[in-house]
Chain A
């Protein structure tokens, strides 16, 4: 394994060198870097041109400039751009902006995509499955910049207008409720009567929920409140323990319920702490949550169920913590919304310029700016995960060892979560690793549509100004990520699937 990694590293290094040379030559030839100066009046022109030739070393041939850049890059200095700004500084800002944008989007796309893919594999040929398949094809065909502009119009401008008077029209309530009913009824296994009950129930609950939020103007002052927090904590406890240890009352379920109860109590106890936290407080609380939940699982689980109990308790605890976080964030919504003139969903940039506020308001500010680009990114990468996890689950579900698991009398839940799901995820792990590699260089269009000054900005200004230095800064990070994550993908694949041998 170590020999394999070492060899891959050496090869990757040479590949990166060659790629950087190609990119440099291309970037240096995209246009005339002096074009804007040639428009200047004659007296200023000569000195300006001389200055820029000096700064960009335009008197040297391209390959000499490449080696100049490479030599400096080895010492960690990525050079200065055409205006003389230090590219290292620009790059640091760009990376942090891009990471903010893509990490959340990629993680969400993976989680949601795998969940949808697996459900659609478990209910193959149902209405849900067909809709998901069709939806995935549409998502593959969507130009992301078009989606971005649509989202800006309807997700931000119209949505903010609507927030001033957040009443949901009855027609919308009806349509959404019907769609929810159809989705649930096609997910339920059973005869016609069961499906009908599921359809009616889901439709009625959705309609009631929407009517309630509309009547109470919930969207004008969204918040969850202790009751919702408690209910979602309990629901999560049941959900996770059903998934992990089965629907009958057992020790893991008690552990999860204990975690949910502790979480709900903490909602009140920690209230003063959460009034004005900072990032360290939140991180500390998250770590404490996990530690407490592990302890609960360890104590409640007993010797036999310890592993499952810890898992259910931790998942429940983390989920409850997340709900509490969202609740506290939404409590600041009214004051935040007022401070940005009632337009909480923003279309441009990473934050409101010169915005000052509490921790929660600042969090809401980033959330409002992240919402739309994240949605756009999720929409286009979701489809890949859905398709792959569906295909890989279907393939695994037809294998002999899954049949064996069923034949020895294991409940279907165990067969799926313990046997099929784990092996089905192996190809997805690889896909996710590849995807993380490409996503840094792949968000360029989204960043441009939403006016983020991030990695894409370096690339595009560099190309438009025929200045290879910022382009190469983009290249170093984006290509480095591609090469490293491709290697990680290969290694994890070999590690997870012993049938693959490294050569």
Chain B
């Protein structure tokens, strides 16, 4: 199973002999930095590349089509303008080429259809996608920063700092995520999507903190940390300059997983009516608003769901690729 052909790189594969013997024979091996290795492994992960491509496409589509804030986009309809229904609001998007009996590749007037008061559903979906993406990224960043700092402090200082921080983590874990997230979102949801993302980040950092702590616990015993301490380096500098760069793999992977989870959490909360509040809309909110239209205008229900799955799926694939790239020892699970 572990022949050199199917392990991503000879130097890190499970077969330690091949790399060492190649070097011993003076074969030409270019030195590669950690980042180059990681990047090469990531780019060899096909699913992760597809995920990356999909995510970038969705982000570009959402932000360029209807524009963001004062910036205009290339799509000429706005998510708020109502209008007259054409063709009962059916989607005009056509993907079946003419020679297969379809009407050709065409966007048409309303590619995703219209809702019951004639709003363009493509613009509305793009607006929801923007909000969902922003919330998810804010959640991911806040959760990761808080989790990393607290986890690193707990792991580095040990003693009562660790006890207190880990008990705080236990307290947050003991509350069902949906309950605390719903309560926090209901308090902050009125204040806008950035606040919503921040409070959701403040209740979802526990996993990151635990991961970072356990990896810091082993790093702090390493010689280079001891060396830094012996020359009088401050604790803050040791944590941020010496230890955290070595945990970057754990951190990056947990950012992606936190973002994927945040997309689903935000949409679930918005679905329950506790996340994004009108006049803002999000993908989850769109599904709630139009779920009674399932039997009459099913497209109002399909498009936002499709985009939620697209975002969560591509972020999950990226996370999987990053995990394999940073930790090739786990490759046995998926190559």
Contact = CB atoms under 8 A, between A and B. Distances in A.
Interface stretch (A24-32, A218-226, A266-274): A24-32
Given A22-B180, A30-B187, A479-B176, A463 B274 contact: yes
A143 B268 contact: yes
A22 B179 contact: no
Contacts of B271: 143, 145, 445, 448
Contacts of B294: 149, 152-153
Nearest to B51: A137
B264 A141 contact: yes
Interface stretch (B24-32, B215-223, B231-239, B304-312): B304-312
Contact of A29 (B176, B187, B298): B187
B291 interface: yes
A13 to B, nearest CB: 11
Interface string A190-223: 0000000000000000000000000000000000
A471 B317 CA distance: 36
Interface string A354-385: 00000000000000000000000000000000
Interface stretch (B85-93, B139-147, B148-156, B166-174): B166-174
A101 B104 CA distance: 47
A478 interface: yes
A104 interface: no
A19 B171 CA distance: 5
Nearest to B269: A445
Interface in B261-288: 264, 267-268, 271-274, 284, 287
Contact of B316 (A137, A150, A471): A137
Contact of A482 (B176, B260, B298, B335): B176
B300 to A, nearest CB: 11
Contacts of B180: 22-23, 26
Interface residues of B, number: 45
A436 B172 CA distance: 18
A460 B271 CA distance: 12
Interface stretch (A173-181, A287-295, A387-395, A406-414): A387-395
Given A441-B178, A482-B174, A146 B287 contact: yes
Interface in A287-337: none
B313 interface: yes
B178 A442 contact: yes
A441 B267 contact: no
Contacts of B267: 143, 145
B120 interface: no
A31 B172 CA distance: 22
Contacts of B171: 15, 18-19, 22
Interface of A: 11, 14-16, 18-19, 22-23, 26-27, 29-31, 125, 133, 137-138, 140-146, 149-150, 152-153, 157, 390-391, 394-395, 398, 438, 440-442, 444-445, 448, 459-460, 463-464, 471, 474-475, 478-479, 482-483, 486
Given A22-B180, A440-B176, 12 more contacts: A19-B171, A19-B172, A22-B171, A30-B187, A137-B316, A143-B312, A145-B284, A146-B305, A459-B179, A464-B273, A474-B176, A474-B179
27 contacts: A15-B174, A18-B171, A19-B171, A19-B172, A19-B175, A27-B183, A137-B316, A140-B313, A141-B313, A143-B264, A143-B267, A143-B287, A146-B287, A149-B294, A150-B305, A153-B295, A441-B176, A441-B177, A441-B178, A445-B178, A445-B271, A460-B272, A463-B182, A464-B273, A471-B183, A475-B176, A478-B179
